[in-house]
C-alpha cells in the first residue's frame, strides 16, 4: 500500500514537472517568435534556461561556421548573471562541442580528464551545455553554470536544456540571418547613394560647340567606382575638360569625387593656366583628402577659337590624339597624382587640333581591362581601334572602343570603371 | 597573406606578393606597419619583386604608409619593382617625387646607411 502511494507520488511529481516543462517551453516559443532582436532573444533563451534547470548563470555563444578555428568563433555571448560577473564559455568547452555536438554535463569540471588544461574561473562549480544545431550544423552553444544551492545538474536537466537548445537553434539562426540581411540592405543603400551621387556628377549633355564633336562614356564596374569626367565652360570662351580616377570605391570614392569636381570647377574659373589650376586644386585636396587617397587627373582647357588645348596631367594615363591621316601621338607631359604632396610643381603644355583630329582621354580601366586568360586589353589594341574608327563621330568612336573592350574581356568580371572622353574637331 | 614582414639589418622589409588590393590587404598592412613604427622601426623597405598587380587603393595604402613613417622621422623605400608596377608609379609620377626605388631589397636596405631618412614630411 505504502509503495503504491509512493509510486503515485512519484508519478504525480513527474507529471507536474512535465507540465511545468511544457508550459515553460510554450512560453519560450511564444516569446521567441515575437521578436527579431538578437539581444532580446538570446537573453530570453538564457533566462529560460537558467530558470528551467535552476542554474545561476547562462550564456549563449554563437559560432561562425565560415571560420573553423574555435578561437575566432565567438561572436556574441549573452548572459543573465544579475550582479555577478558573466562567464565566457571556455574555448576548450567550445572546441569539445564543435567536435562532439552533444550535451555536456560537468558536475566537477576540475576533476574531468577531458578538460585537464582548462583554468576554470574559480566561481565555476558545475556546468551544463547543449549544442544549438541547425540542419546538422553547429551554430552555437547554450551553457548554464552552477546549479543553485550547491546542487549538481541531473540527467533531467541535461534533457531539458537539450530541448530548449533544440527549440532555440532555428530562431537564433533566423535572427542571425535577419541581421545579415539588415547589414546587406544597409550596404545596398550605401551603394545606391554612392550611385546617385556619381550619376548626379556625371556629364549628361555635351555642349553644342561649333566645329567640335564631343562625347563621353563612363561605365562603372560592379561596384561604384571612382572615375570622373567633366566638361565645363570657363571664362574666356573656353571649356575645361577632365577625366580623372579617384582611388578607392563605393561611397567614400563618390564623395571624394564630388569634392574633386567642386574643387576643379571653382579653381578652373580662377586660374590663369592649366598648371596653376592643378597646383591650386592639389594644394586644396592635400588638405581635405584622407591620407592614402589620391586622384589621377587629366586637365585640359579647350580654346575653340584658336583650336588649341592647354593641358596638365596629374598622374593620369596619357591621352591619345589621332589625326585624319591615321598618325597618332600621346600627350606626354605628366605630373604627380593629386592629393599627395602639396608643393608639387605642375607644368603644362599645349597642343593644336587640326580639322579631323580627335583627342581621346581615357581611364586605366580600358588598357587594364582583363579577359579570362588574365591578359590585358593594353594600349596597342586601344590604338588600333582608335585609328580604325578615326573617321567616325565622337560618339561612334567611343562606342567602338567600348565594344572592343567588351569583346576582349568576354565573360570576365570587370574590375575597374571604364571612362572615355572624345573631343573631335570636325571643321 | 599577400605580404610578409622580415627584418634585415636595421630595416623592416614588407614583401608583397601577387595582387595587392587596398580594400583587401590594406588593413592588415596598416596594422603591421603601425606595429613596426610603434616598435621604433621606421626604416621600411617594401619588396615588390613578387607583386604583379596593384590597384589604386593599394598605391594609396603605400602613400598612407609613407606619410606615417615620415611622421616618425623614418622613410619607406621601394625595391625590386616589376615593369608593370614600375609603369604605374611612373605614370602617376609617384616615383622620384614621392617614393624612391631600388633594384633590390639589399640596395634599399643599404640606402638607409648612405642616405638616411630625412624625415621630410609629404604634407609641408
Q: Do A248 and B57 touch (CB under 8 A)?
A: yes
Spell out which residues of chain A touch residue B94, defining contact as CB-CB under 8 Å: 315, 336-337, 340
Across A212-244, b (16+ Cβ under 10 Å) vs e yields bbbbbbbbbbeebbbbbbbbbebeeebbbbbbb
Residue B7 above 80 pLDDT?
Answer: no
Residue B86: Cβ within 10 Å count: 15
Nearest CA in chain B to A294: B60
pLDDT score at A425? 96
pLDDT score at A333? 94
pLDDT score at A65? 58
Question: Do residues A346 and A314 make contact, with C-beta atoms less than 8 angstroms apart?
Answer: yes
Is the model's pTM score more than 0.80? no
Tell me the per-residue pLDDT of A305-318, one tens digit each, with 9 for 90 and over: 999 999 999 999 99
- Minimum-distance CB partner of B59 among A247, A249, A291: A247
Q: How confident is the model at residue A87 (pLDDT cuts 50, 70, 90)?
A: low
Question: Do residues B59 and B90 make contact, with C-beta atoms less than 8 angstroms apart?
Answer: no
Q: Can you tell me the mean pLDDT for A150-158?
A: 92
Q: Do B60 and A316 touch (CB under 8 A)?
A: no
- Minimum-distance CB partner of B64 among A226, A291, A314: A291
The mean of the pLDDT values for chain A is 85
Question: Do residues A359 and A368 make contact, with C-beta atoms less than 8 angstroms apart?
Answer: no
Q: How confident is the model at residue A191 (pLDDT cuts 50, 70, 90)?
A: confident
Residue percentage of chain A with pLDDT more than 90 = 38
Query: Between the ranges A283-297, A404-418, B68-82, where is the mean pLDDT highest?
Result: B68-82
pLDDT score at A7? 87
Spell out which residues of chain B touch residue A337, defining contact as CB-CB under 8 Å: 92-94
d(CA A250, CA A198): 10
Measured between alpha carbons, how far is residue A267 from residues A18, A191, A273, A316, A350 in Å? 80, 29, 10, 19, 19
Strand residues in chain B grouped as ranges (E):
3-8, 11-20, 43-54, 75-79, 101-102
Q: Can you tell me the mean pLDDT for A407-411?
A: 92
Cell of A329: 601621338
- Give CATH superfamily name and number for A2-176: GAF domain (3.30.450.40)
Residue A81 above 60 pLDDT?
Answer: no
d(CA B39, CA B29): 15
- Helix extents (H) in A202-350: 250-270, 274-288
Q: How many beta-carbon pairs below 8 A join chains A and B? A: 70
pLDDT score at A154? 93
pLDDT score at A74? 38
Residue percentage of chain B with pLDDT more than 70 = 94
Residue percentage of chain A with pLDDT more than 70 = 91
- Domain ranges in chain A are 2-176, 193-425
- Give CATH superfamily name and number for A193-425: PPM-type phosphatase domain (3.60.40.10)
- DSSP track, A246-266: ESS-HHHHHHHHHHHHHHHHH
Question: Do residues A244 and A227 make contact, with C-beta atoms less than 8 angstroms apart?
Answer: yes
Q: What's the gap in Å between the CA of B108 and the closest CA on chain A?
A: 22
**Residues of A engaging B, defined by a Cβ cutoff of 8 Å:** 226, 245-249, 286, 291-294, 296, 314-318, 334-337, 340-344, 415-416
pLDDT score at A75? 38
- Using DSSP, how many helices (H) and how many strands (E) does chain B show? 5, 5
Q: Do B67 and A291 touch (CB under 8 A)?
A: yes
**Of A207, A257, A264, nearest to A233 (Cα)?**
A207
Cell of B78: 621601394
DSSP, collapsed to helix, strand or coil, labels residue A191 as: helix
Q: Do B56 and A247 touch (CB under 8 A)?
A: yes
Q: Can you tell me the mean pLDDT for A243-271?
A: 85
- Whose cell is 562606342? That residue is A399
Tell me the per-residue pLDDT of A346-368, one tens digit each, with 9 for 90 and over: 999 999 999 999 999 999 889 98
Residue A83 above 50 pLDDT?
Answer: no
Examine domains A2-176 and A193-425 and report if their fold is the same: no
Tell me the per-residue pLDDT of A24-78, one tens digit each, with 9 for 90 and over: 777 777 776 667 777 778 888 888 888 889 898 888 888 765 554 333 333 344 4
Amino acid at each position: 500500500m505504502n509503495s503504491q502511494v509512493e509510486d503515485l507520488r512519484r508519478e504525480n511529481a513527474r507529471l507536474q514537472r512535465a507540465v511545468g516543462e511544457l508550459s515553460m517551453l510554450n512560453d519560450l516559443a511564444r516569446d521567441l517568435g515575437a521578436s527579431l532582436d538578437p539581444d532580446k532573444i538570446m537573453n530570453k533563451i538564457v533566462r529560460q534556461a537558467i530558470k528551467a534547470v535552476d542554474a545561476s548563470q547562462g550564456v549563449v555563444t554563437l559560432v561562425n561556421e565560415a571560420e573553423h578555428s574555435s578561437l575566432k568563433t565567438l561572436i556574441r555571448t549573452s548572459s543573465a548573471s544579475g550582479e555577478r560577473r558573466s562567464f565566457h564559455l571556455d574555448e576548450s568547452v567550445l572546441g569539445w562541442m564543435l567536435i562532439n555536438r552533444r550535451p555536456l554535463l560537468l558536475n566537477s569540471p576540475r576533476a574531468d580528464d577531458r578538460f585537464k588544461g582548462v583554468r576554470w574561473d574559480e566561481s565555476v562549480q558545475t556546468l551544463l551545455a547543449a549544442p544549438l544545431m541547425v540542419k546538422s550544423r553547429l551554430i552555437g552553444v547554450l551553457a548554464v553554470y552552477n546549479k543553485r544551492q550547491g546542487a549538481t545538474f541531473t540527467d533531467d536537466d541535461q534533457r531539458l536544456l537539450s530541448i530548449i537548445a533544440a527549440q532555440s537553434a532555428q530562431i537564433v539562426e533566423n535572427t542571425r540571418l535577419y541581421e545579415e540581411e539588415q547589414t546587406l540592405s544597409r550596404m545596398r543603400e550605401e551603394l545606391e547613394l554612392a550611385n546617385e551621387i556619381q550619376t548626379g556628377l556625371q556629364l549628361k549633355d555635351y555642349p553644342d560647340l561649333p566645329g567640335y564633336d564631343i562625347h563621353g562614356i563612363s561605365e562603372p564596374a560592379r561596384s561604384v567606382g571612382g572615375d570622373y569626367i567633366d566638361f565645363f565652360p570657363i571664362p574666356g570662351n573656353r571649356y575645361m575638360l577632365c577625366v580623372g580616377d579617384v582611388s578607392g570605391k563605393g561611397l567614400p570614392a563618390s564623395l571624394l569625387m564630388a569634392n574633386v569636381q567642386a574643387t576643379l570647377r571653382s579653381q578652373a574659373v580662377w586660374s590663369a593656366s592649366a598648371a596653376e589650376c592643378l597646383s591650386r586644386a592639389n594644394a586644396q585636396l592635400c588638405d581635405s583628402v584622407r591620407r592614402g587617397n589620391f586622384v589621377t587627373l587629366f586637365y585640359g582647357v579647350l580654346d575653340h577659337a584658336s583650336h588649341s588645348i592647354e593641358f596638365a596631367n596629374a598622374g593620369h594615363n596619357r591621352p591619345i590624339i589621332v589625326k585624319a591621316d591615321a598618325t597618332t601621338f600621346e600627350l606626354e607631359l605628366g605630373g604627380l597624382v593629386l592629393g599627395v604632396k602639396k608643393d608639387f610643381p605642375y607644368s603644362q603644355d599645349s597642343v593644336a587640333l587640326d580639322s579631323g583630329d580627335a583627342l581621346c582621354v581615357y581611364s586605366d580601366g580600358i588598357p587594364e581591362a582583363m579577359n579570362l586568360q588574365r591578359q590585358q586589353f593594353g594600349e596597342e589594341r586601344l590604338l588600333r581601334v582608335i585609328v580604325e574608327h578615326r573617321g567616325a563621330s565622337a560618339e561612334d568612336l567611343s562606342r567602338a572602343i567600348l565594344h572592343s573592350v567588351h569583346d576582349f574581356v568576354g565573360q570576365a568580371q570587370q574590375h575597374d570603371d571604364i571612362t572615355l572622353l572624345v573631343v573631335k574637331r570636325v571643321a | 597573406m599577400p605580404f610578409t614582414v622580415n627584418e634585415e639589418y636595421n630595416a623592416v622589409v614588407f614583401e608583397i606578393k601577387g595582387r595587392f588590393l587596398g580594400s583587401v590587404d590594406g588593413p592588415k598592412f596598416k596594422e603591421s606597419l603601425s606595429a613596426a613604427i610603434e616598435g621604433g622601426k621606421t626604416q621600411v623597405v617594401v619588396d615588390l619583386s613578387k607583386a604583379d598587380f596593384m590597384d589604386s587603393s593599394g598605391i594609396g595604402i603605400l602613400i598612407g604608409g609613407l606619410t606615417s613613417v615620415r611622421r616618425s622621422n623614418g622613410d619607406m623605400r621601394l625595391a625590386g619593382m616589376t615593369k608593370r608596377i614600375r609603369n604605374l608609379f611612373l605614370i602617376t609620377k609617384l616615383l622620384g617625387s614621392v617614393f624612391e626605388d631600388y633594384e633590390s631589397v639589399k640596395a634599399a636596405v643599404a640606402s638607409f646607411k648612405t642616405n638616411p631618412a630625412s624625415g621630410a614630411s609629404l604634407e609641408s
